[in-house]
Amino acid sequence: MTPFTIIPPGIELATALQHKIDRKTKPLGALGRLEPLAHQIGLVQQTLTPELRQPHIVVFAGDHGAARAGVSAYPQDVTWQMVENFLAGGAAINVFSRQMGIGLTVVDAGVNHDFGKRSGLVDAKIAPGTANYIEQPAMTPEQRDAALQRGREIAHALADNGCNCVGFGEMGIGNTASASLITHCLVGAEHDADLYSVTGRGTGLDDAGLLRKRQLLAQALERGGRPRSGRDVLAEYGGFEIAMMAGAMLGAAEKGMLVLIDGFIVTSALLAARAINSNVLAYCAFAHRSQEPGHRVQLDYLDVRPLMELDLRLGEGTGAALALPLVQAAVNFLNDMASFESAGVSDQA
């Protein structure tokens, strides 16, 4: 496949953006994390007057062969059942997307179910679920590259239709286990990412279930080792929805879009994307910190601060949707808030 080409945002406007932020009618830094967020969005869009156009959430769904081995508290059928719930408009992401006025697309990246042609569903199925990575690589290199490329195409299509802000979500029983393996491999033990510390309860495992999950993931590592490249780790332990998300993140960055990063699983896709092309990180804003213990490790490793901490652990892109009003607020204060000069307000002590 064609390599991802991501141009880092130019820094020529950095000083002017900071001056504009600092001259608003407020004490320096008084709007907290909204200020660096506004600065980032200005750099991403290369303008002093950024705007959010047609914000969109894309939810990628895929099944994992390892789910049948017991890494999740839920049966694999829940993946396709939840996709049906998305299409019927009944899931949390549907509720929040409607509330925020955000476009929503659901992508079948590799669900073990035949949905047929459906409104609101993009059929990008690579295969009906990955292989069981405890016994063999989750996907072939060809499948991985197809997933990355399809994700890129989905992001490019959104950009070509006028979207410049996209958030990603996921659905796939067993995908917190996959995310734990990806995090363990790409973050590394030297960054406090030993397997146990990044493996949580996922969909609600009890103590015995969590122990079994950790044991199964340890078996997977004995078989597949700890690949350090983003492409290799996706092939060994990824899900089709995670690989396609990684491709979509890279594709969105190629198009200069702002990317809203959701929780633990979405951030694992970003780790893989960053390992493929590190320039993607400059385009990413982090919505929240989830309850999954590995998510804190990921965020610390990336040296980023999320906008919210609401104890979410749902996935689906719900955190990205909930963060959008904060992103809009950052744009609005930069564009609409008076400066000391325009308001005739003294800034002298």
In DSSP terms, 286 is beta-bridged to 261
The half-sphere exposure of 204 on its side-chain side, counting CA atoms within 13 A, is 4
316 catalytically annotated: yes
Cβ–Cβ under 8 Å, residues 89 and 120: no
Cβ–Cβ under 8 Å, residues 199 and 268: no
Does an H or E element contain 110, and which? strand 103-110
- In the structure encoding, which two tokens stand for residue 152, read together? 């890129």
Q: Which of 170, 236, 254, 316 is catalytic?
A: 316
Burial class of residue 83 (count of CB atoms within 10 Å of its CB; 0-12, 13-18, 19+): buried
The half-sphere exposure of 253 on its side-chain side, counting CA atoms within 13 A, is 26
Helices (H), 205-239: 207-224, 230-237
Catalytic residues: 316
